[in-house]
Chains A and B, each alone.
Chain A
Amino acid sequence: MISQLRQKSVVAFRGFIGFVFFLCAWEATSRSPIGNLVLFPPPSSAIQVLFDMMSSGELTKHIVASGRRVLLGFLAGAFPAVLLGILTGHSSAWSSYLNPLLHTFRSIPPLALVPFGVFWFGIGETSKVALVAWAVFFPIWVNTDAGIHNISPLLTRAAACLGARGWRMLFLVHLPSALPYILTGLKVSLSVGIATLVAAELAGAIFGVGYLIQVSQQIFRVDVMLVGLIALGVGNCLLIAVLNWIIARLAPWYGAEQLSLKH
């Protein structure tokens, strides 16, 4: 237990060293003769701007706008994706109708749809949320479909001879059995959703982190652009951490089989 804790803190410390090293190298490069304080500002000034923008509330405004779009789009995409995944995973009739179509849509990079989104839904909130929903839909659908499709027949049989049928079979056996796949789909889709949102905000918006980067570029504020990048990185990490926390609460056994092998 103690040695495990120590190992963990050693790993964390090494990660920290990696960061410090990177920041020092960056700082030194920007301030060296080959550097350029305006086009390639050092981290110290980026962090300075970051704090200024945070205390003025300027940054929060953009983060809240982007976060809201990601969450709404995520929810709007995830629910139909799970429902459709259950349908296509269960029914070979439905999957033979829908899978070719959905796989074709899935193979179109969602970023390519950004210009269409602007066309059809304008540059307001609707287009952002719709694009995120579209982007997160496919990884979640594909994984749910695979999860339902790959349910162990043994578990289905075991449940059937305990008396499980119909809805109870679906909710108490098939869904939990497919949950690891669904959760993987949710994790993957989060990154895809954020990437798509940034592209949509770069293409035109009033608020949002992507918008912040885009307008700062027009006024040559590379330091503010860097703040945007930091916000994206940290925000993405936080969302994934929240998702992991929910997964750990919801499914403590998830990934535990692999973990117990690692010991």
Chain B
Amino acid sequence: MALSPHRKHVEVEQIAIECRNLTFAYDRTESNAVIADLNLTVTNGEILCVLGASGCGKTSLLNLVAGFLTPQHGTVVVNGVPVSGPGPDRGVVFQEYSLFPWLTALGNVEFSLAMQGMSRKARRQAAIAKLNLVGLEHAIDRYPFELSGGMKQRVAIARTLAANPQVLLMDEPFAALDALTRSSLQEELLTIYHKTKTTIIFVTHNIAEAIKLGDRLIVLGPGGKILESIENGRPSRVDPAYGESYRRLARALNVEDAE
């Protein structure tokens, strides 16, 4: 796309995801809306972390952006295109393991490339490169049942990245993992992010994880109301800003100490 000389146009192009007056209820009655009249924008190349009590609607929000759910009112616009169903421009990493059990790690990533129309020949090398990115070059021929939980999520991330999505939607992808694996996957995600600059919505229960990963952190309340929003800038744990962010998030989440 040619660069537009008009400043206004440039600003519009910087918005990756926009939710406008988004309303959704599972039973289609507005009084029971899980997401009620939500307005939210995510800028290009931003990592937005979404926190919130269990059942507040984080997964529902992500599913609306992914196009698995259709809103009653309002729209989700991703890079200028209104969402009308799932598509490869929005990659999703699920909380549950979602690899195809009949394909190897390599096969799972190749599936994604095949959907993009890549030739059979080119696929293999490209898939190996993606698995390299998540440190799995030694396990490419293993089936999902032969992989640990952390490895499965790594393959899932590689598979999603292989589709070259414009935005990445991650629903508590590391929640089922032990602290150590979780921490190293967070590092890997940041490394990948610095290479690709993909816009990411990252849902998590873990305050420390949110502060470590997010450019911006929001806490959702009942009805998908935004209770708190923090510009983060990824402070380190020794940074005083870390403690401040932590306190604000914990207060919004109504917990003494969330870790």
With A157-B68, A253-B143 given, is the CB distance from A163 to B92 under 8 Å? no
Is residue A162 within 8 Å, beta carbon to beta carbon, of the partner chain? Answer: yes
Known: A162-B111, A257-B145. 20 other contacts (CB 8 A): A154-B96, A154-B98, A155-B98, A157-B66, A157-B94, A159-B111, A160-B87, A162-B91, A163-B87, A163-B88, A163-B116, A164-B111, A164-B115, A168-B115, A177-B102, A253-B143, A253-B144, A256-B143, A257-B101, A260-B145
The answer to whether B115 touches A158, judged by C-beta atoms less than 8 angstroms apart, is no
The answer to whether A161 touches B66, judged by C-beta atoms less than 8 angstroms apart, is yes
Can you report 19 residue pairs joining A to B where beta carbons are below 8 Å apart? A154-B98, A157-B66, A157-B86, A158-B92, A158-B98, A158-B100, A160-B85, A161-B66, A162-B91, A162-B111, A162-B115, A162-B159, A163-B115, A164-B111, A176-B100, A252-B143, A253-B143, A253-B144, A260-B145
Chain B 110-127 interface mask (CB, 8 Å, partner A; 1/0): 011011100000000000
Chain A 223-263 interface mask (CB, 8 Å, partner B; 1/0): 00000000000000000000000000001110011001000
Chain A 124-160 interface mask (CB, 8 Å, partner B; 1/0): 0000000000000000000000000000001101111
With A168-B115, A253-B143, A256-B143 given, is the CB distance from A160 to B101 under 8 Å? no
Is residue B146 within 8 Å, beta carbon to beta carbon, of the partner chain? Answer: yes
Nearest CB on B from A7, distance (A): 22
| Residues of chain B lying within 8 A (CB to CB) of residue A154 | 94, 96, 98
**A154 CA / B114 CA spacing, docked (Å):** 20
**A168 CA / B92 CA spacing, docked (Å):** 19
Which range contains the number of B residues in contact with the other chain? 20 to 34
A interface, over-half SS: helix
Is residue B90 within 8 Å, beta carbon to beta carbon, of the partner chain? Answer: yes
| Residues of chain A lying within 8 A (CB to CB) of residue B91 | 161-162
Which range contains the number of A residues in contact with the other chain? 20 to 34
User: Which residues of A approach B to under 8 Å, CB–CB?
Assistant: 154-155, 157-164, 168, 172-173, 176-177, 179, 251-253, 256-257, 260
The answer to whether A158 touches B94, judged by C-beta atoms less than 8 angstroms apart, is yes
Chain B 133-173 interface mask (CB, 8 Å, partner A; 1/0): 00000000001111000000000000110010000000000
| Residues of chain B lying within 8 A (CB to CB) of residue A164 | 111, 115
**A172 CA / B111 CA spacing, docked (Å):** 9
The answer to whether B115 touches A155, judged by C-beta atoms less than 8 angstroms apart, is no
A-B contact count (CB 8 A): 69
Among A157, A158, A168: residue with most chain B CB under 10 A: A158
Nearest CB on B from A249, distance (A): 13
The answer to whether A155 touches B87, judged by C-beta atoms less than 8 angstroms apart, is no
**Residue in A163, A168, A176, A260 whose CB lies within 8 Å of B102:** A176
**Residue in A162, A252, A256 whose CB lies within 8 Å of B112:** A162
Among B68, B90, B98: residue with most chain A CB under 10 A: B98
**A92 CA / B66 CA spacing, docked (Å):** 25
| Residues of chain B lying within 8 A (CB to CB) of residue A252 | 143
B interface, over-half SS: loop
Among B66, B67, B94, B100: residue with most chain A CB under 10 A: B100
**Residue in B87, B94, B96, B145 whose CB lies within 8 Å of A256:** B145
The answer to whether B146 touches A260, judged by C-beta atoms less than 8 angstroms apart, is yes
**A251 CA / B145 CA spacing, docked (Å):** 13
**A154 CA / B99 CA spacing, docked (Å):** 9
**A159 CA / B90 CA spacing, docked (Å):** 12
**A103 CA / B223 CA spacing, docked (Å):** 45
Among A162, A173, A176: residue with most chain B CB under 10 A: A162
The answer to whether A253 touches B96, judged by C-beta atoms less than 8 angstroms apart, is no
The answer to whether A173 touches B100, judged by C-beta atoms less than 8 angstroms apart, is yes
| Residues of chain B lying within 8 A (CB to CB) of residue A253 | 101-102, 143-145
**A262 CA / B88 CA spacing, docked (Å):** 38
The answer to whether B100 touches A155, judged by C-beta atoms less than 8 angstroms apart, is yes
**A162 CA / B160 CA spacing, docked (Å):** 7
Chain A to chain B: the 8 pairs with minimum beta-carbon distance, closest first: A163-B88, A163-B115, A160-B86, A158-B98, A176-B102, A161-B86, A257-B145, A162-B112
In the complex, which residue of chain A has the Cβ closest to the Cβ of B91? A161
| Residues of chain B lying within 8 A (CB to CB) of residue A161 | 66-67, 86-88, 90-92, 163
Nearest CB on B from A116, distance (A): 40
In the complex, which residue of chain B has the Cβ closest to the Cβ of A172? B111
**A67 CA / B190 CA spacing, docked (Å):** 61
| Residues of chain A lying within 8 A (CB to CB) of residue B86 | 157, 160-161
| Residues of chain A lying within 8 A (CB to CB) of residue B159 | 162
Chain B 39-82 interface mask (CB, 8 Å, partner A; 1/0): 00000000000000000000000000011100000000000000
